[in-house]
Amino acid sequence: MITQARQPEIAKRVVINVDRCIECQSCAAACYASHARMPAGGFARSGWALLPLICRQCKAAACVDACPAEAMVRDDAGIVRRRLFRCIGCGSCARACPFGVISDQLSGTPGTIKSPGELSGHQIAKCDLCADRLATDDQAVPRCVAACPSGALQFVDEHQAEAQGLLIIGGRSAADNLYKRR
């Protein structure tokens, strides 16, 4: 009998240091290129600042509970992810997300040379923390974090961020000063 080794649960999360973000959108480009033209991260304008929106990987994820097709699941490593071919594009997960991170804009699996259009246009993109990278290397970080030239995106344990002197704002944002940006 073959037994599969259980992946350790991922305790780290992507944290955004709002003091360092230079609005270059390198994180979105890395996500777009690595997830088959289905970018899982977006941007939101907050006053004059343009900040990246990245899945917060909630402990009690409302998107998982809201999905009628059971396409949103929490895997053995603790990552909330979307099962691509179960997604029916209903947008329930996007409406259930309390942070507005999941976009309800439909995208699809890109076609091949023989069929250049999209094979399906009914899927909702979802961040999976680049689980393919994390499964192979303990020191690996998601592609958005690796692509960030200013170090605004960090892949850390929340307690580690506090030890570095960063204040956690709203669960997944960090700053040197709560009241001042740049």
Which structural domain, as residue segments, surrounds residue 49? Answer: 13-175
**How much is the pTM?**
0.73
In a domain, 6, yes or no: no
Is 2 a domain residue? Answer: no
User: 4 in a domain, yes or no?
Assistant: no
| Token code pair at residue 69 | 């097709």
| Residue at 95 is within a domain | yes
**Residue 169 included in any domain:** yes
Residue 182 in domain: no
Predicted confidence (pLDDT) per residue in 145-155, tens digit: 999 999 888 88
State the Cα–Cα distance between residues 105 and 109, nearest whole angstrom.
14
Render pLDDT for 92-114 as a digit per residue (tens, 0 to 9). 988 998 888 887 776 655 555 45
Q: Is 90 domain-assigned?
A: yes
CATH number, domain with residue 128 = 3.30.70.20
Q: Which of 16, 8, 10, 105 has its CA nearest to residue 55?
A: 16
Q: How many structural domains are present in the chain?
A: 1
The count of other CB atoms within 10 Å of the CB of residue 160 is 14
CA distances from 29 to 109, 144, 147 (A): 17, 8, 8
Dihedral, 97, 99, 105, 110 alpha carbons, nearest 10: -90
Give the separation between CA 8 and CA 175, rounded to whole angstroms: 29
pLDDT of residue 83 exceeding 80, the answer is yes
DSSP E strand stretches across 12-86:
13-17, 42-46, 49-53, 72-74, 80-82
Asked if the structure places residue 180 within a domain, the reply is no
